[in-house]
Amino acid sequence: MIPLSALPIIIRGKLLIPKFLYPRHVSLVASLIEIVDELTNRNLTESNLKRIIESFIGDYRISKALHYALRYFYEFKTIGLDESTQRYLAKKHHIQDEWEFKKAFYRWVNEKGGFLGKEERDFMIRRFAEEIGLSYDIVKRVIENELPENITFIRKRDEKPRPLVLIGLYNFLLLEKLLSISERAFLNVYGRELGAIVKKLILRAKRHDVIADFKKVKNGVEVEITGPYQLFKLPAVSEYGRQIAAVIAPIIVNYEGWRLRLWVIYRKRRYYCEIRGYEENSPILKPYWAIAPDEKPRETYDSSIEERIYNALSKILERNNARILREADVIILNNGRILIPDFTVVWGKKKIFIEVIGYWRREYIEKKKEKLIELSKEGYKNFLAVIDEKLRKHFDQLPIYKIYYSGNYIPIGKLYRLITSI
């Protein structure tokens, strides 16, 4: 994720406007790519690359953000320890990596008298090489691999980046950073046939532990996302921002009918930011994991309790001509809020919905309680909750069917009897 110092924005009163790049900037970005690509396979430091980009682009923050986007395609290579040398050092000297090797050298130098002048350096490297059992060339190459003349700038991929791809990546990095400093966000999705899209969105929010509330509104669906600032009371939470970006990326990247409203905390002040996905000035967006799949934010939701409930109930229910389905039904309440129960038990013509509640954050608990109270008011008698014992005080008074689990103990027999009684 880009640092706050690399976030290109304009502040107008209480409005925050991201400095996105658009197709009209293709010529500029294409020229930048040519300049950067000409530098490959040469000795170049990162600080020098930053200066080159800034001197061409002009704007410090845009330059810095573009530098981070370019790093998905280029890298700085230093000469390190090869595999055979690493195995030798691990076996003979218990040195596991390059950093430990350098520490061993400087510790040894310190024991021999400390500070080295330039004229003494080669002599000491030779002595250390002899003592450790390696050639002088190998030791010198590794000890000095961070000197500018030993750093080579290379392209990671066979082809240089395309201008529109780099623009999309730059824009996505800006949006991800804005999400990481947000207090709250509203994503409105418009259009037809939204059912499948919204269901996937709800499930992704759950699996990435993003607290979000889904509501049916005129011509579409509104998603209220609890931002990192509201949740953690910190200036920025990069990891949670990544998770939000992972949840909404398929919508904002592939779907035209959307609007994202953000309330962000920037330098201790609150600003409003709005981005639309169906206008001429809508930004092109490209998630970085489309280029580097290993960097895709991993799902963080712990589904072990759900797995155990599903596995235990499915065996019992099958013996009684019933079945249990995972996340199969969508419930739309009268106030427009949307809920997908974790399980649906189908028993003849009867359906019983089961929701597992184990997340402990206050915002999550309050939103879940509101939905359960609304379910009860609307007369849903076929809904039961399986709740973590630690949350009993929050849910004990709710007029719904419920049982509690504690740690790894889930009262499956009691749960089955409750299902049969509904």
Burial of 279 (0-12, 13-18, 19+ CB in 10 A): exposed
How many Cβ atoms sit within 10 Å of the Cβ of residue 179?
28
* pLDDT score of 302 more than 80: no
Containing H/E element for 366? Answer: helix 362-377
Q: What is the pLDDT of residue 217?
A: 85
User: What's the mean pLDDT in 357-376?
Assistant: 85
Q: What is the pLDDT of residue 231?
A: 59
Q: What is the pLDDT of residues 189-244, one digit of tens each?
A: 887 667 777 788 888 888 888 888 888 888 788 888 887 666 565 655 667 778 88
Q: What is the pLDDT of residue 37?
A: 96
Q: What is the pLDDT of residue 142?
A: 85
* pLDDT score of 115 more than 90: no
Q: What is the pLDDT of residues 388-405, one digit of tens each?
A: 999 999 999 888 899 999
Share of the chain above pLDDT 90, in %: 43
Name which of 305, 304, 287, 283 is nearest 295 in CA terms. 287
Instruction: Select, from the ranges 139-153, 317-331, 359-373, the one with the highest average predicted confidence (pLDDT).
Output: 317-331
Q: What is the pLDDT of residue 301?
A: 62
pLDDT band at 74 (very low <50, low <70, confident <90, very high): very high
Q: What is the pLDDT of residue 291?
A: 92
* pLDDT score of 63 more than 90: yes
Domains and CATH numbers, the chain: 4-75+159-295 (3.30.70.100), 83-135 (no CATH), 304-421 (3.40.1350)
Q: Mean pLDDT in the chain?
A: 87
* pLDDT score of 183 more than 80: yes
Beta strands in 150-268 (DSSP E): 151-155, 182-190, 212-217, 220-226, 258-266
**C-beta pairs of 122-130 under 8 Å, 24+ apart in sequence:** none
Name which of 214, 154, 166, 209 is nearest 188 in CA terms. 214
Any idea which of 1-5, 226-230, 407-411 has the lowest mean pLDDT?
226-230
pLDDT band at 31 (very low <50, low <70, confident <90, very high): very high
Q: What is the pLDDT of residue 58?
A: 94
Q: Which carries the bigger pLDDT value, residue 110 or residue 272?
A: 272
- What the block records as the tokens of 323 is 């079945």
Burial of 243 (0-12, 13-18, 19+ CB in 10 A): buried
Task: Report the alpha-carbon distance of residue 214 to residue 212 in Å, rounded.
Answer: 7
